[in-house]
A and B are shown apart, each in its own frame.
With several copies, the nearest count.
Chain A
Amino acid sequence: MLKALENISAFYANPTRFMGLASRLHGPLWALAVLLLAYGLYRVAHVPADYQQGDTVRIMFVHVPAAWMALFGYSFIFFASVTALIFRHPLGHVAARAAAPVGAVFTLLALITGSLWGQPMWGTWWVWDARLTSVLVLFFIYLGYIALWQAIDEPTRAARAAAILAIVGFINVPIVKFSVDWWNTLHQPASVSRLARPALHADFLYPLLIMGAAFLVLFLAITLTRMQMEVLRQRLRVRARAGASENA
């Protein structure tokens, strides 16, 4: 406990190594994200309209990568938290905190694009389908995690509490997923016309993969920037503290 605190103060007093690495990575990462996104969107615009779904099929290229990022984001938070707790590496707390809102936004994006897609395809905005429901629950988990960070204003206490939640919550994710799958397959809603999985041929697959890569890099770029901001903020705080005690 004591050591972790010392670590944190030592780190914030001199996090030069991370900041150096980050400032070198920062530019290329954003450039790559923008390039991939632009190229991906260009490819998406040139995908032939689906014989069955028409142009709405294009929602897929946002929806599916967003859903991937929703899952990736939470795993990222989990591993960052474990690193922070077990290896007492405070950067893990910073990374987890920075990633949470990003992951939550991607989750929300998956929910919204899914809903938008559901309206023309299924004739309804929302079904209690297994996959949809588990994404909704994942969104709740994100919200709880973010709320916890915001609710505690002492950074060290907030970090510990949030890490505990991240780990406990991660164990919960597969349990929820499994039980919801099981729940819904048992009581399949007959009223909802379900879309057969589109067989993804290359026309669809490559743009999808490119968009997926773009979202991944975007996720990393935003998270990195947020981490840099967080470190700077903590640095300012340390400085303000030092200044205050010198003045006194």
Chain B
Amino acid sequence: MTTQRRIFAAICRQHIRLSWRNGQTVLAVSFLFIAITLLPFGLGPELKLLRALAPGLLWVVLAISLLTSLERLFQADYEDGALDRLLLVPLSFEAVVLAKLLGHYVALVLPLIAAVPLAGLLLNIEAARLPILVAAMLCGAPALVMAGGIGAALAVSVRRGGLLTVLIAMPFYVPVLIFGAAAARAGLQGGVDVAVDVGAYLGVLAALSAASLLLAPFAIAAALRAALR
């Protein structure tokens, strides 16, 4: 293992360990469940309605849990000096950022998506339809993480940072939600041409994720550098 890879892995592992240790992982997952549990109380218990809405609701809840978890993505490191430390490692800062984003994906997004099938059952989605929902989320989530990361980085040195993160990231969430929900709905309807549709939607989601993956580390690194003081 080269030194650079070792450092990359260490940063990624550190992020995962801290997310776990500070309870962010468990918090995000339980947030998902709590939102899903509270919804029937708010909407009234009509199961049919819930089933029809379930994929969309799950997407929105996923997006909001992610947004909440991303809001402070770089904040603690910025305040306690850990970001200074990361600027002084023999690795390009873009790579450092990528390591942290990857860590966030593993520590938060994967557990959240892993919780979706169970939450889906609570909302009475047919079990056979869940794989498509999960696949769509796996394809689309990187874009959500990258967008939230950009917001978090731009807001890091800022009073009212949380607001900024949310405001900045929100427009990026719109396309992902639209295609994600569409894929899930198409998946739920079943049929012959549906497979084609679902494939196309997943493709769009993956393309959005790939594009953001190319762009975001640079934007984030630039934003964090500009925030230094």
Contact = CB atoms under 8 A, between A and B. Distances in A.
Interface residues of B, number: 42
Contacts of A165: 150, 154, 168
Given A128-B45, A129-B45, A180-B174, A160 B160 contact: no
A179 B174 contact: yes
Interface in A137-178: 137-138, 140-141, 143-144, 147-148, 151-152, 154, 157, 160-161, 164-165, 168-169, 171-172, 175-176, 178
Contacts, number: 109
Interface in B117-141: 121-122, 124
A76 B145 CA distance: 28
Nearest to A190: B46
Interface in B123-182: 124, 150-151, 154-155, 157-161, 163-164, 167-168, 170-172, 174-175, 178-179, 182
A179 B167 contact: no
Interface string B168-208: 10111011001100100000000000000000000000001
A212 B50 CA distance: 35
B226 A187 contact: no
A148 B170 CA distance: 14
A148 B45 contact: no
Contacts of B172: 172
Nearest to A144: B167
Given A151-B158, A157-B227, A186-B182, A144 B164 contact: yes
Interface centre among A126, A152, A186 (most CB of B within 10 A): A152
A128 B42 CA distance: 12
A192 interface: yes
Given A128-B45, A151-B159, A160-B226, A176 B167 contact: no
Interface in A97-124: 124
Nearest to A175: B175
B219 interface: yes
A32 interface: no
B178 A140 contact: no
B229 interface: yes
B168 to A, nearest CB: 4
A191 B222 contact: no
Contacts of B161: 151
Nearest to B165: A144
A135 to B, nearest CB: 12
B5 interface: no
A98 to B, nearest CB: 20
B112 to A, nearest CB: 18
Interface centre among A144, A154, A165, A182 (most CB of B within 10 A): A144
Nearest to B26: A147
Contacts of B175: 175-176, 178-179
Given A127-B45, A151-B155, A161 B174 contact: no
Contacts of B208: 175
A124 to B, nearest CB: 6
B44 interface: yes
Contacts of B171: 137-138, 140-141, 144, 169, 172, 176
A151 B164 contact: yes
A129 to B, nearest CB: 7
B130 to A, nearest CB: 13
A136 B121 contact: no
A192 B172 CA distance: 28
A206 interface: no
Nearest to B121: A125
A47 to B, nearest CB: 30
A163 to B, nearest CB: 9
Given A140-B167, A169-B168, A171-B215, 11 more contacts: A127-B45, A143-B167, A151-B158, A151-B164, A157-B226, A157-B229, A160-B226, A164-B154, A164-B219, A172-B172, A179-B178
11 contacts: A128-B40, A133-B45, A144-B168, A148-B158, A148-B164, A152-B158, A157-B226, A157-B227, A165-B168, A182-B178, A189-B46
